[in-house]
Amino acid sequence: MFIKLPLKRRWNLFRRFFKPDIYPEAFSAYFNRLPDTLEVSWFRDDGMIIGTVKAGDKEFLTQGVDADDFIRMVNESIITVFNIPDDYFDAINQTKTYLPKPSERQLLEDMSVASHSFGLSKVEQAFRLA
């Protein structure tokens, strides 16, 4: 039965059995490697939200279909840009380290707003909950 599953699904099941240990000291070090603040400028194009993220001297693009997807992609891309190892990627990504203020999120969800920019700060409370 395992052989009949699609390859991606087999890999996820296989990975679940052999998850590496997550060490709190390493998790803390990787979490603290992430910048304290980000600047995000975004615009809408053909139903997508496309954003430029500035984190210190690094600048990169990301995109999302809606506000939730865009916020998720900002968090995932910042973890990728700062070279967090795969073993800790999921653990740090689940903390939702960077979240916009409610007023900024409302602008992301409002389809009549064509572009905007805002700053994000690292949510230290997320680290304490992890």
| Residue 11: per-residue pLDDT | 61
Report the predicted TM-score, pTM, of the whole model to 2 decimal places: 0.77
Which residues make beta-bridge pairs with 70? Answer: none
Question: Hunting for tokens 């296989």 — which residue is that?
Answer: 14
| Residue 71: per-residue pLDDT | 93
Tell me the average pLDDT across 12-35. Answer: 76
Mean pLDDT of the chain: 84
> Following DSSP, what letter does each residue of 74-120 receive, concatenated?
HHHHHHHHTT--HHHHHHHHTT--B---HHHHHHHH-TT--EEEEEE
pLDDT tens digits, one per residue of 56-67: 899 999 999 999
Between CA 73 and CA 63 the distance in angstroms is 7
Tell me the average pLDDT across 8-32. Answer: 73
- pLDDT cut 70: percent of the chain above it: 79
Phi, psi values for residue 48, rounded to 5°: -105, 150
